[in-house]
Structure 1
Amino acid sequence: MGQREGSGAGHIAAFAGMALIWGLTWLPMKIASEAVPPIFLAMIRFLLAGLCYLAFILARGLPLRMEQPWRVVVASLLITTGCYSLLFWGVARAPTGLSSIVNLSLMPIFLILVGSLYGQERVTPRRLGAIALGVLGLVMLFSGRTGAAQDGALLGLAAVALATLSYAWGGVVSRPLMQTMHPITLAFWETSIGALGLIPVSLLVEGYDPAYFAGLADGRAILGLTILVLGGSLGGFSIYLWLVRDWGAFQAGLYSFVSPVVAVAVGVAFANEAFGWPEALGMAVMLSATALALTEGKRKAVAA
């Protein structure tokens, strides 16, 4: 079956904008974490994003009803609380470019692995190859970051990998909800419930200090939250939903090849992050794993 209607210049421009936005969010996330603790930052981001989603829902008259509440809660704790507590904590300690590579390259692989446990996906030989390449790419990225000076970065990248697993698990859990709830309504509940879950995590890990709220007035926090909430959560996600509807999940998911390149370029240019041949080879291997995973999905869609 051919492409759906809506593959013109407007959709291509929207795709480029989405990939650019999601590639640009990594460095502001790290910079904002210099002003306030990272998990506290994630909590504020998703509380603000939840309020924005609610305003949109009320303005458009969308239904607020929550279907299968237990499933929504579990998905929210995995997608928002589990993923972003680990992701923000990890990015605060690791280079943003490598963090984006680990996150975006592992996502389709973890979706396959977790989906197979729930009977939603099949582990085919092609997908086994993607998993093997993904593991090899991770080893290559991590191998250059051993030693005392790199312990923090290594731990940060490991947290990013666990964050990706948490998000993929939550995505699989929430997949049936997409058939019964409006995507913006689902995004509101998963964002808001997950943000509430981030409150005790932040208190346990980072403690409470009134200075955290004062830090939100810091220019770094304001810039980071503006880009993360308006750009990442609202702009990028809205474009993604639109493209999934008109293009399908495969083509919309190709941002996984563009956003890491943007994040690496921004990290090298503006944060002097190291990126040599070992990192480039690891990136190439991991993006090859992503290509294998995504082309399997495309092949199945064409066959159907």
Structure 2
Amino acid sequence: MTRYRNAVLFVLLAAVWGSAFMAIKVGLEYFPPVLFAAIRYDVAGVLMLAYAIYATDRWLPRTSGEWKLVFVGGALMIAGYHAFLFVGELETTSAVAAIIVSLSPVLTTGFARVFLPSERLEPSGIAGLLLGLVGVAILSQPNPNDLLADDFVGKILVLLAALSFALGSVLSRRIDADLPIETMEAWSMVLGALMMHGISIARPSESFTMVRWTPEAILALVYLSIAASAIGFLVYFDLLERLGPIEINLVSYVAPIFAAISGFFFLDETITPITALGFLVIFAGFCLLKRRAISRELPRITGVFSSGR
């Protein structure tokens, strides 16, 4: 175990999750979007379920509360999030999609204020939430005369993905269920994949006959299913235990950097000043929202990263 184990894993997770946006963009050339997301989680769900069977003594939900938890995760954090994201990425760049998704921690706090009365927002928290939304507005550049343009609709769909994930995160905290997180993630992936197959079937523009199984398509699918989903979530679980939820949220703000880099090198996507400004505004909103927690945790974060504990 190296001294900087946590820092290395943190950067690795950000790199894998950030470059996943580029892999999605590549795969969309060969797969219908929702079907692509469904197949991704067919593979990832089976892998995670195998890991849950190996690593836990509770690989199967038993109570109604545990199944409710799986349903929320599958419907909102897997199916809703990825269906909106994959369709939205048809019309936006990898970096912009990653930046809009990085709003999720800010949106989660907003939903928590509504659905978890014990969690209150101070004026600085409300300002941080509004600042995050301003960042999205900067990225999407709404024009009243052009609201149906493909790129604007794509960004709104990615925003709906972030909203779906944030809502699922909050609602899952309202459910009284003592289920290992690996089991919850595995069954959420399986259920979410089934839901997305249903959505795909209902979309006239999608069918299995439209899939082109090229080496590039298979590589994108394997990368998303194994590296970004199965391995990525295992690293996430490990860091969540070591660093805690506040620190691990910062992955959302490092990932867009890798999304922009990978999009630039592999897809010739350009990074505009507006994109950079939107990212900085969203990140400033997060810092303002979490300013007390960040200032309280900063010494421990530095110690944990440098010590590798």
- Give the TM-score, by structure 2 length: 0.87
TM-fit CA distance, 1:269: 2.8
Residue in structure 1 matched with residue 282 of structure 2 by the alignment: 286
Residue in structure 2 matched with residue 298 of structure 1 by the alignment: 294
Deviations 1:82-141 (A, max 9, x none): 11100111112211101100101x111110111111225321112111112112212211
Structure 2 residue corresponding to 1:143, chosen from 141, 144, 165: 141
Residue in structure 1 matched with residue 232 of structure 2 by the alignment: 236
8 Å CA contact retained: 1:133, 1:286:
yes
Specify whether residues 20 and 252 from structure 1 end up closer, same or farther in structure 2 by C-alpha distance, changes over 3 A only. Answer: same
8 Å CA contact retained: 1:141, 1:278:
yes
Q: Which moved more, 1:273-282 or 1:29-38?
A: 273-282
Residue in structure 2 matched with residue 49 of structure 1 by the alignment: 44
| Structure 2: tracts of 5 or more residues without a match | 299-309
Separation of aligned partners in 1, 2:72 and 2:184: 13
Corresponding residue SS for 2:179: coil
| Structure 1: tracts of 5 or more residues without a match | 1-5
Specify whether residues 223 and 134 from structure 1 end up closer, same or farther in structure 2 by C-alpha distance, changes over 3 A only. Answer: same
TM-fit CA distance, 1:296: 4.0
TM-fit CA distance, 1:257: 2.2
TM-fit CA distance, 1:14: 0.9
Specify whether residues 178 and 168 from structure 1 end up closer, same or farther in structure 2 by C-alpha distance, changes over 3 A only. Answer: farther
8 Å CA contact retained: 1:47, 1:192:
yes
Separation of aligned partners in 1, 2:262 and 2:225: 19
TM-fit CA distance, 1:290: 2.1
Residue in structure 2 matched with residue 192 of structure 1 by the alignment: 190
Q: Aligned pair 1:276/2:288, yes or no?
A: no
Corresponding residue SS for 1:156: helix
Separation of aligned partners in 1, 2:95 and 2:176: 31
Q: Aligned pair 1:40/2:38, yes or no?
A: no
Separation of aligned partners in 2, 1:145 and 1:25: 29
Q: Aligned pair 1:23/2:21, yes or no?
A: no
- Give the TM-score, by structure 1 length: 0.88
Structure 2 residue corresponding to 1:110, chosen from 104, 107, 110: 107
CA RMSD across the alignment: 2.5
Q: Aligned pair 1:77/2:75, yes or no?
A: yes
TM-fit CA distance, 1:299: 5.1
TM-fit CA distance, 1:146: 8.3
The count of aligned residue pairs is 294
Corresponding residue SS for 1:25: helix
Corresponding residue SS for 2:119: coil
State the AA in 2 paired with 1:9: Y
Separation of aligned partners in 1, 2:171 and 2:215: 37
Specify whether residues 229 and 143 from structure 1 end up closer, same or farther in structure 2 by C-alpha distance, changes over 3 A only. Answer: same
Specify whether residues 71 and 185 from structure 1 end up closer, same or farther in structure 2 by C-alpha distance, changes over 3 A only. Answer: closer
Specify whether residues 99 and 30 from structure 1 end up closer, same or farther in structure 2 by C-alpha distance, changes over 3 A only. Answer: same
TM-fit CA distance, 1:200: 1.5
